[in-house]
Amino acid sequence: MSVNAYLSQEERTVLERVRVGVAGAGGLGSNCAMHLVRAGVRKLVLADFDVVTEANLNRQFFFRDQIGEKKVSALADNLRRIEPGLELDLCEGRLDAEGCRKAFRDCDVVVEAFDSAEAKGMLYAALSDMKVVGASGLGGWGRSDAIRVRRVGANMVLVGDFESDVTEGAHPQSPRVGMAAAMEANAAIALLLGLEL
């Protein structure tokens, strides 16, 4: 039985059948994956090359005893604590365009959760024929009402304020990153269920 007791049978059927890709397992990706699992998604492709560090703990869905572990392995463990029956494909290397196409080829929606603008652009170009939910503009504190959802073309949805880069004066913080991760998950679920964004 699904963790989410509030799903209709139709919603449960859809969300247990689809496969969602999560490109990046940091602040956005780890929290978005957690929301997707709590919402009823049971098949995920998790991709990240990095390991958990102490600096990640201010905003990412990891714990102190996981420092030094590969992010995708640690995230898989955490997600299985919510729902043991998940079907998870783990990609532990750095992805280029070909790697993105290969890793996410069977996904119904891909959530972009990369840090760099270059990596984001590469993924968007590589998966231009797929449904992608991305993020842009999450740095700092406050301005909660500035984070919004924007449809870009037929296949892409972006979440963020579209202006506040993560910089020395606007570090990534749990409240804004968490809000954006939840909004990415919400947008992905809406796309999967054919609902209004």
Looking at residue 43, which CATH number applies to its domain? Answer: 3.40.50.720
Assess contact for 177 and 157: CB atoms under 8 A.
Answer: no
User: Residue 140 domain-assigned?
Assistant: yes
Number of domains, the chain: 1
Q: Degrees (nearest 5) of the Cα angle 150, 154, 146?
A: 5
User: Residue 23 domain-assigned?
Assistant: yes
The token pair that represents 179 in the structure block: 């809000």
Please give the residue range of the domain that contains residue 151.
9-193
Sheet strands side by side (includes 43-47): 87-91, 43-47, 20-23, 109-112, 132-135, 156-160, 148-152
User: Residue 2 domain-assigned?
Assistant: no
User: Residue 167 domain-assigned?
Assistant: yes
pLDDT tens digits for range 82-96: 999 999 999 998 999
User: Residue 15 domain-assigned?
Assistant: yes
Extended beta strands in 29-172, E state: 43-47, 87-91, 109-112, 132-135, 148-152, 156-160
pTM over 0.85: yes
pLDDT tens digits for range 148-186: 888 888 889 888 776 656 555 556 666 778 888 999 999
DSSP state of 40: T
The alpha carbon torsion through 112, 61, 27, 76 (nearest 10 deg) reads -30
User: Residue 3 domain-assigned?
Assistant: no
User: Residue 4 domain-assigned?
Assistant: no
